[in-house]
Structure 1
Amino acid sequence: MTGYQDYLIVLSPPDSIKKKIKRYKDDSAAIIGEYDSHYSKGHISIQQWPRKKPVWIDAMMPKLERELLSLPPLVVNIKGFDFFHHEDNPTIYARMDQTALTAIWYKQLKRFFSGGSFVPHITIARSIPAPAFKKLWPYLSKQEWNEEFKIDKLTILRRDTIGHDKSYKIYRELPFNRRLDFYNYTQSKVKTPVTTEKPVNTQQFSLF
């Protein structure tokens, strides 16, 4: 493989959550008609690595895999739906409950990646026209969804930068450390002053 690839780093929820996301996407299509993100699988986006040579990414994987074993699986809660305004094209998403403990976990994960802050979410309908939003939001805003689930690995997807097939395929799935407990780990970070934390390797996977 000699061409460039686009990579997408995500947290993939369990199948039970994906099935519910699919159901809400199908309901949305029934209300507003087909839309671009209808068939994309539910995930929490972490970072994009556009236009990279596979040899660069392949070389990084052993180190990243080791680093991720310092993290426990993520325990997170879906709490209903929300939306980003995005001017004339809002995006509706399943809202992740943001707690002090999940914030600590995401902060620890982001040590291994460049980029600023982000809002963890699972997209239902991305960048839909305002008239479609006005039809769909009254339905989704009334749906009650409160469910806890666990994510035990980081998923890296990829696709050809230039090509007809724009769908992402799984490249690697890197596990978190299942021997670590999410609550014990994050609570220990709350109690530990930032100045006394042992620094992790400062090299980030920014890939220029």
Structure 2
Amino acid sequence: MRTAAIKTQSPVQELFFMIAPPRHIASDVAVLKDDVHYLIGHDFEDRFSKAHISLFKYTGEHIEDMIEFVEEKAASFEAFNVFLKDFNVFHNGSKRTIYMDIVNKYPIREVFENLVKEDRDFTPHITIAKNLSAEDFLKCWPYLKELNYSNQHFPCDRITVLVRNGKKWMHYKDICFGK
């Protein structure tokens, strides 16, 4: 396990706990984000963020305690496969978020609930385009909904932790599952 030495201005740090897909899936997501950019004709929120499945963020002074907590929990997690299929949409008022759908949400929900708490609104996904206006959504959704993205899966055996360094997120460490 590698740990990056990140210097920050204050004792308060922000960590981001996620599941990171392998390069070939991250590359597919980057191409899809480029397609959305082409279809709507301008940048959009999180266009350049790397593919990931969000678990939670932590902001505070006790990051080592939080890391230790997650490591203890992760020691009891079993590795599983994440199966991806097609695309779906979140509706948030007048905004739309297009995401890559996960077929087997239960194992990811179980990881999330062991780390955070039960949350019926937690839907594991990989974001393609976040908070699009209705007009932009209508420009790209007909294209994306017709794409057949299936038979893609990857093993999940770790949680990736990023730390905020200014405006960027940097790799901090990977926490491997114990089983």
Matched, 1:13 2:21: yes
SS of aligned partner of 2:18: strand
Equivalent residue for 2:5?
Answer: none
Counterpart secondary structure, 1:41: coil
1:158-169 residue pairs with structure 2 within 5 A? Answer: 158-160=163-165, 165-169=166-170
Q: Which whole-Å CA distance do the structure 2 matches of 1:112 and 1:174 have between them?
A: 13
The answer to whether structure 1 residue 4 and structure 2 residue 12 are counterparts is yes
Q: Secondary structure at the match of 1:127?
A: strand
1:38 partnered with 2:47: yes
8 Å contact kept, 1:14–1:149? yes
Aligned match of 1:81: 87
Which of the pair has more CA radius of gyration? Answer: 1
Q: Distance in 1 between matches of 2:111 and 2:79?
A: 12
Out of 132-141 and 151-160, give the one that drifted further.
Answer: 151-160
Percent identity over the alignment is: 28
Partner of 2:34: 26
Structure 2 distance, partners of 1:13, 1:22, is: 12
Q: Is 1:176 aligned to residue 177 of structure 2?
A: yes
Aligned length in residues: 168
Tell me if structure 1 keeps the 8 A contact 2:96–2:131: yes
The residue number in structure 2 matching 1:200 is none
Q: Shift of the alpha carbon at 1:28?
A: 0.9
> 1:112 and 1:84 mapped to 2: Cα distance?
24
Query: Partners in 2 of 1:148 and 1:142 — Cα distance?
Result: 20
Corresponding residue of 1:187: none
Aligned partners of 2:75 and 2:177 also within 8 Å: yes
Shift of 1:74: 2.6
Q: Runs ≥4 in structure 1, deviation > 4 angstroms?
A: none
1:157 to 143, 162, 165: 162
**CA distance in 2 between partners of 1:170 and 1:39 (Å):** 16
Deviations 1:127-185 (A, max 9, x none): 0111000001001001101112112210111215xxxx3221112210113xx4xxxxx
Q: Which amino acid aligns with 1:114?
A: K
How far, CA to CA, are the matches of 2:76 and 2:118 in structure 1? 20
Any idea what SS the aligned residue of 1:65 has? helix
AA in 2 matched with 1:120:
P
2:101 to 90, 95, 115: 95
1:79, 1:145 within 8 Å by CA — same for their partners in 2? Answer: yes
Match of 1:57 in 2: 63
| Structure with a larger share of its residues in strand | 2
Of 124, 128, 132 in structure 2, the residue corresponding to residue 124 of structure 1 is 128
Query: Structure 2, unaligned stretches of length 5 or more?
Result: 1-7
Single out whichever of 73-82 and 113-122 deviates more from structure 2: 113-122
Give the superposed CA RMSD: 1.8
Q: 1:133 & 1:124 partners in 2: Cα distance? A: 12
Q: What secondary structure is seen at the aligned counterpart in 2 of 1:34? A: coil
What TM-score do the two structures reach when normalised by structure 2?
A: 0.85
